[in-house]
Amino acid sequence: MGNQPFVKMTAIEKAFAGNQVLKKVDFDVQPGEVHALMGENGAGKSTLIKVLTGIHQRDGGTIEVKGEEKTYSNPKEAEKDGIVVIHQELNIIPHLTVSENMFLGKEKTLGRTGILKKKEMYQETLDHLERLGVTSIHPNETAGDLSVGKQQMIEIARAISTNAEMIIMDEPTAALTDREIESLFKVIESLRKQNVSIVYISHRMEEIFQICDRITVLRDGEYIGTEQVKETDFESVVKMMVGRELGERFPARTSTVGDKVFEVKHLARDGWFEDVNFHVNQGEILGVAGLMGAGRTEIMEAIFGAVKKKQGEVLLDGEPLNIKHPRDAIQAGIGFITEDRKGEGLVLHLSIRENVALTNMKAISDNGWISSKREAELIDDLIGRLHVRTTGREQEVKSLSGGNQQKVVIAKWLGIKPRILILDEPTRGVDVGAKKEIYHIMNELTEQGVAIIMVSSELPEVLGVSDRIMVIHEGKVARILPREEATQEKIMQAATGGE
């Protein structure tokens, strides 16, 4: 390194409506480097990328690409210079084939006739995938039938087909299974060898320390610093991100575990899971680990009445519950924080007030009439207790950061005073500071005797937060481990079907 950087951004400034979101930010990427861009939600990462690719125009500073000063007015122009962004929400048209997606908008045709040269596109798709070392995708497959991980590969292949020299990946692993993450890393490795630069935006520390060369940290729109991954460690990066010592990553568990309150017996659903048995005690956190697709979410949905179960019993205080609709579960005192916050947890264009009220209608209404006063009191109390950072209860949840949106979802469920709370990937896409706050809330709830079931794909989180850990493998409970006995290795072994 030390050569000419591929991209060099210097003293970038950007303000929206008087609100300075980027303050003299420097950022440079060397050819063939994997460079992590880190910071809490709202630190300015995405704005920086948008300024680079011309979605936003900068107020100050310079952008150089291969030593030449550049200003793009839209992402298409940036793409011509080899800068491609792969967004978290993939740009794949599900009904089209892999190769049709690859060549979308730049189809190869016979002259100007509009007749497609299918064979040629097929072959090129194959070549590009091969260049990435991907052999498991067939160009004629329907893209929508592929897993998210494979769809992502199509996007990466599409990027290199346009001779991309720098690929910006925004939270690329958020929806991937462990195995898919592995293949993504292999692809990144081969791109690096072909001198393609990667900008890697992620909240997942483990990954960043595994594959990145350098880390640049932003905080509140300010440039904090750039470090060589080899010369830094987890704690210092977190400190750079939050601006203070965060202390222990997982707060110590303080509640005393009581008697059994909730039990699931012989739960089954054809093709998804069978004979699932487990229980949770009062004040306990039961972590649920397993590979993606093992059936963890589906089991929780069945307990909650969101999908039909084929057989099995759900018991609260030893009494069987008859749950046919989420409403029945809620009435029994079960809350469910889903993994898909935007798709299933919130009505995005409604206010915090309206969202939180959805699960709490009983508490704030009489005979179907809502009491605005009681509603306001309840919402203010909940957003205060959870430290939701907001301009007030009327703010649209769409405009909140990921961590704060998650707190609104939690607020929805605290209102019903749940006895059992199911959290599915509660900290996905949430920054470090907010993560810790969420762990604190979970601790507080268990102190009040709430039993928590937490599904998580992050092993450190499962190990750090749970009292007991249940591992699911292909729709069956593979193992239940007390916290003291659990290790990453034991969990992985059980999750992959080993003994």
Partner 1 sequence: MKQLVTNNLSKLGPLIGLILIMTILGFMSENFFTVNNLLNLLRQISINALIAFGMTFVILTGGIDLSVGSILAFGSALTAGMLASGMDPLLAVFIGLLAGLAMGAFNGLIITKGKVAPFIATLATMTIFRGATLVYTDGRPITGLSDSFAFEMIGRGYVFGIPFPGILMIIIFFILFLLLRKTVFGRQVYAVGGNEEASILSGIKADRVKIWVYSLTGMLSVLAGIILTSRLNSAQPTAGTMYELDAIAAVVLGGTSLAGGRGRIVGTLIGALIIGVLDNGLNLLNVSSFYQQIVKGGVILLAVLLDRRSK
* Interacting residues with partner 1 (CB under 8 A): 17, 304, 306, 325-327, 329-331, 336, 338, 343-350, 354, 357-359, 361, 365, 368-370, 412
Min separation Cβ 388 and partner 1, Å: 18
Nearer to partner 1, 38 or 356 (CB): 356
Nearer to partner 1, 223 or 304 (CB): 304
The least distance separating partner 1 from the CB of residue 330, rounded to whole angstroms, comes to 4
**Between the CA of residue 445 and those of 44, 421, 459, 470, what are the distances in Å?**
33, 9, 22, 20
Residue closer to partner 1 (CB basis): 243 or 326 = 326
Nearer to partner 1, 39 or 345 (CB): 345
Please report, for residues 145, 149, 178, 208, the alpha-carbon distance to residue 138 in angstroms, rounded to integers and kept in the order given. 11, 14, 22, 30
Q: In angstroms, what is the minimal distance from the CB of 364 to partner 1?
A: 9
Cβ closest to partner 1, residue 28 vs residue 328: 328
Task: Give the nearer residue to partner 1 in terms of CB position, either 3 or 391.
Answer: 391
Least spacing, CB of residue 458 vs partner 1, in Å: 23
Residue 368 CB, nearest approach to partner 1 (Å):
5
DSSP assignment of 304-361: HTSS--SEEEEEETTEEP--SSHHHHHHHTEEEE-S-IIIII--TTSBHHHHHHGGGH
Q: In this complex, which beta carbon is closest to partner 1, that of residue 350 or of residue 492? A: 350
In whole angstroms, how close is the CB of 306 to partner 1 at the nearest point? 6
Nearer to partner 1, 286 or 357 (CB): 357
Specify the pairing of strand 420-424 against strand 369-370.
unpaired
CA distance 43 to 457: 25
Rounded to the nearest 10 degrees, the angle between the axes of helix 432-447 and helix 234-242 is: 90
Rounded to the nearest 5 percent, the helix, strand and coil shares of the chain are: 35, 25, 35
Enumerate long-range contacts of 257-262, CB under 8 Å, 24 or more apart.
257/281, 257/282, 257/283, 257/284, 257/467, 258/282, 258/283, 258/284, 258/449, 261/316, 261/317, 261/419, 261/420, 261/451, 262/314, 262/315, 262/316, 262/419, 262/420, 262/451
Nearer to partner 1, 193 or 369 (CB): 369
Q: How far is the CB of 394 from partner 1 (least distance, A)?
A: 12
Tokens of 484: 């003291």
- By C-alpha distance, which of 225, 210, 198 is closest to 84? 198
CB of 283 to partner 1, least distance (A): 25
Choose between 43 and 357: whose C-beta lies nearer to partner 1. 357
CB of 492 to partner 1, least distance (A): 31
Considering the complex, state which of residue 48 and residue 356 has its C-beta at the smaller distance from partner 1: 356
Q: How far is residue 213's CA from residue 227's CA, in Å, rounded to a whole number? A: 9
What spatial distance separates the first Cα and last Cα of the chain, rounded to whole Å? 46
What backbone torsions phi and psi does residue 399 show, to the nearest 5 degrees? -90, 5
Query: Which pair of tokens denotes residue 90?
Result: 């993939």
- Count Cβ neighbours within 10 Å for each residue of 128-163 and write b for 16 or more, e otherwise: bbeebebeebebeeebeebbebbbbbbbbbbbbbee
What is the Rg, in whole angstroms, of the alpha carbon atoms belonging to the chain? 24
Minimum Å gap between C-beta 354 and partner 1 is 7
Q: Cβ closer to partner 1: 164 or 422?
A: 422
Dihedral over alpha carbons 300, 287, 400, 376 (to 10 degrees)? 70
Give the nearer residue to partner 1 in terms of CB position, either 17 or 252: 17
Smallest distance, Å, CB 153 to partner 1?
Answer: 28
Q: How far is the CB of 334 from partner 1 (least distance, A)?
A: 10
CB of 45 to partner 1, least distance (A): 24
- B/e letters for 271-289, b = 16+ CB within 10 Å, e = fewer, are ebbbebebbbbbbbbbbbb
Could you give the residue ranges of the DSSP H alpha helices within 53-141?
75-80, 98-102, 118-131
CA–CA dist 341, 339 (Å, integer): 6
Q: Are 440 and 255 in contact (CB under 8 A)?
A: no
